[in-house]
């Protein structure tokens, strides 16, 4: 494991990428390790030989011709073709913006529709229905009067029921008397009559 | 905006080229064409392929220049295009290459057998150089690209990493692995060379 690390460091050192601290550790290791030293020498040899590797050389006239050909090619490229990516990018933004606006508008529309529906339900249940009935009765005063009297009677009836429910005296409830003896009942009746007279 | 002794800086030329200035782009091409060509040639080992791919690199750079956001340097961006195009080209040729590799490796083995026992040290030296070229050509692509950028182009691991869009550590490991492969392949020749010196 240590030798593998040292061999990696030898490669890093060749590229000038090894820290001073590691260089010292490396040197110390190489002094006593024959195999790593031998590997280092091989790398040195490869490096020297690599410097001698010559790629085919090209003349200056080649570069003049190269530039000339390239210039001719790029001059023939239509401007629209060059805008390809940017246009696509712009369209992408435009599409994103349009979609955002659409969804915001849709959200607002749904929100408003929901509110309106609620109001409509509310109005048609109470004020709305009354308003509509009066619209129909408006042309006939007799019918309107009859409707009003029915409506008032209905309200009065409701009020009476409410009053009865609310103001019922405890002794009017028959269940109140069920658990008393005869003597107790007589006593209570006498007490109630006496109080009513007062 | 950077400026140097030789004229306007790269940033200014890029800006002008983005606006459609062919001259400005030609100047950029003049500045980098040799280095790009050299890197591609080291990867392909073929002058015609290097010429075609260098032209293609600049063509692609010109057509997509507007998408270049100048977060990296123009040089790094250009190198990325060149390396990507070359890698795609080499992958397309992979089948052909593998066939060639098989036959050449076969001859390499046969030749190495013969050369190890050859008494002529001069021919060994020549052979080492030839075998080194061959061994570099047959390095796996990711190792070869890193090797070419660092050794032939003189880049740091960081510069190569930016072009290859990987970490410095990855480049460092690829360099180590590449050297291990080269050393293993050239061992017989290296041994002879050491004995000679």
Within a 10 A sphere around the Cβ of B40, how many other Cβ atoms?
25
pLDDT digits over B53-62, tens only? 999 999 999 9
> Which three-class secondary structure state does DSSP give residue B164?
helix
Whether A175 has a pLDDT exceeding 60, the answer reads yes
| pLDDT band, residue B194 (cuts 50/70/90) | low
Among B66, B67, B183, select the one facing A46 at the smallest CB separation. B183
Residue B93 pLDDT: 81
Q: What is the mean pLDDT of chain A?
A: 79
ipTM: 0.76
The share of chain B scoring above pLDDT 70, in percent, equals: 77
CB contact under 8 A, B151 and A50: yes
Q: How far does B152 lie from chain A, in Å, by closest CA?
A: 8
d(CA A90, CA B178): 44
- C-beta atoms of B180 and A46 within 8 A: no
Tokens 């030609």, residue located: B26
CA proximity to A75, closest of B63, B92, B65, B132: B63
Asked if residue B119 has pLDDT above 50, the reply is no
The residues on A that touch B, with CB distances below 8 Å, are: 7-8, 11-12, 14-17, 39, 41-43, 45-47, 49-50, 52-53, 55-56, 58, 63, 66-67, 69-71, 73-75, 77, 79, 81-86, 89
A169 or A181, higher pLDDT: A181
Which pTM was predicted? 0.61
Q: What average pLDDT score do residues A22-32 get?
A: 93
SS3 B165: coil
The gap from C-alpha B61 to its chain's centroid, in whole angstroms, comes to 18
C-beta separation of B197 from A56 below 8 A: no
> How many inter-chain contacts (A to B, CB under 8 Å) are there?
109
B129/B186 Cα distance (integer angstroms):
10
On chain B, the residues whose CB falls within 8 A of the CB of A70 are 26, 29, 33, 55, 58-59
Once rounded to an integer, what is the mean pLDDT over residues A112-126?
Answer: 58
User: Looking at beta carbons, which residues of chain A come within 8 Å of B136?
Assistant: 50, 53
Q: How confident is the model at residue B35, as a pLDDT? A: 92
SS3 content of chain A, % helix, strand, coil (to 5): 85, 0, 15
Confidence bin at B86 (pLDDT 50/70/90): very high
Instruction: Give residue-wise pLDDT tens across range B21-75.
Output: 889 999 999 999 999 999 999 898 888 999 999 999 999 999 999 888 888 899 9
Nearest Cα of chain B lies from the Cα of A103 at a distance, in angstroms, of 29
CB-CB: which of B33, B172, B179 is closest to A66?
Answer: B33
For chain B, the residue count is 197
- Output the DSSP codes for B88-131: HHHHHTHHHHHHHHHHHHHHHHHHHHHHHT---HHHHHHHHHHH
Question: What are the structural domains, with CATH classification, of chain B?
Answer: 1-94 (1.10.1740.10)
Q: Which residue of B has its CA nearest to A11?
A: B176
Query: Shortest CA distance to A13 belongs to which of A35, A32, A36?
Result: A36
Binning pLDDT at 50, 70 and 90, where does residue A51 land? Answer: confident
Average pLDDT, whole number, for chain B? 82
Contacts 24+ apart (CB under 8 A), B87-90: B87/B141, B87/B145, B89/B44, B89/B49, B89/B53, B90/B43, B90/B44, B90/B141
Residue identified by tokens 């066939």 is B99
Q: Would the CA dihedral through A72, A78, A79, A82 be positive or negative?
A: negative
Give A41→chain B minimum CA distance, Å: 9
Name every chain A residue with its beta carbon within 8 A of the beta carbon of B176: 7-8, 11-12
pLDDT of B117 reads: 44
Please name the member of B25, B51, B54 whose beta carbon is closest to the beta carbon of A74.
B25
pLDDT confidence of residue A64: 86
- On the question of pLDDT at A54 being above 80, the answer is no
Interface with A, mutate which of B67, B152, B174 (most A CBs under 10 A): B67
pLDDT confidence bin for B19, thresholds 50/70/90: confident
Helix (H) or strand (E) holding B8: strand B7-8
Taking an 8 Å cut-off on Cβ atoms, the answer to whether A70 and B58 are in contact is yes
pLDDT value for A26: 93
Instruction: Give me the pLDDT at residue B122, please.
Output: 55
Q: Which residue has the higher pLDDT, A138 or B4?
A: A138
């Amino acid at each position: 494991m240590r030798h593998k690390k040292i061999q990696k460091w030898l490669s890093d050192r060749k590229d000038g990428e090894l820290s001073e601290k590691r260089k010292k550790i490396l040197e110390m290791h190489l002094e006593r390790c024959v195999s790593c030293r031998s590997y280092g020498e091989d790398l040195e040899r490869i490096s020297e030989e690599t410097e001698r590797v010559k790629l085919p050389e090209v003349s200056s006239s080649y570069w003049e011709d190269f530039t000339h050909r390239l210039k001719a090619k790029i001059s023939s490229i239509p401007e629209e073709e060059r805008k390809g990516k940017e246009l696509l990018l712009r369209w992408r933004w435009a599409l994103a913006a349009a979609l955002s606006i659409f969804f915001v508008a849709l959200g607002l529309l749904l929100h408003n529709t929901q509110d309106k529906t609620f109001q409509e339900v509310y109005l048609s249940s109470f004020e709305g229905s009354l308003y509509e009935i009066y619209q129909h009765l408006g042309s006939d005063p007799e019918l309107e009067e009859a409707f009003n009297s029915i409506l008032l009677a209905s309200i009065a009836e409701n009020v009476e029921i409410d009053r009865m429910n609310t103001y019922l005296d405890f002794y009017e409830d028959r269940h109140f008397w069920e658990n008393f003896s005869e003597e107790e009942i007589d006593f209570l009746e006498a007490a109630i009559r006496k109080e009513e007279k007062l | 905006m950077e400026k140097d002794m030789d004229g306007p800086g790269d940033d200014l030329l890029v800006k002008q080229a983005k606006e459609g200035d062919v001259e400005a782009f030609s100047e950029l091409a003049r500045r980098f064409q040799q280095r790009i060509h050299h890197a591609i040639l080291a990867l392909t080992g073929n002058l015609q392929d290097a010429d075609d791919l260098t032209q293609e690199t600049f063509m692609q750079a010109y057509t997509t220049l507007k998408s270049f956001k100048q977060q990296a340097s123009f040089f790094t961006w250009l190198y990325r295009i060149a390396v990507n195009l070359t890698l795609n080209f080499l992958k397309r040729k992979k089948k052909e290459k593998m066939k060639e590799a098989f036959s050449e490796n076969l001859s390499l083995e046969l030749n190495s057998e013969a050369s190890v026992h050859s008494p002529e040290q001069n021919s060994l030296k020549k052979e080492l150089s030839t075998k080194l070229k061959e061994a570099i050509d047959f390095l796996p692509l990711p190792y070869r690209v890193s090797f070419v950028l660092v050794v032939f182009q003189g880049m740091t691991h960081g510069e190569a990493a930016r072009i290859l869009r990987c970490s410095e550590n990855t480049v460092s490991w690829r360099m180590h692995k590449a050297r291990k492969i080269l050393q293993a392949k050239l061992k017989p020749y290296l041994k002879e060379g050491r004995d000679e010196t």
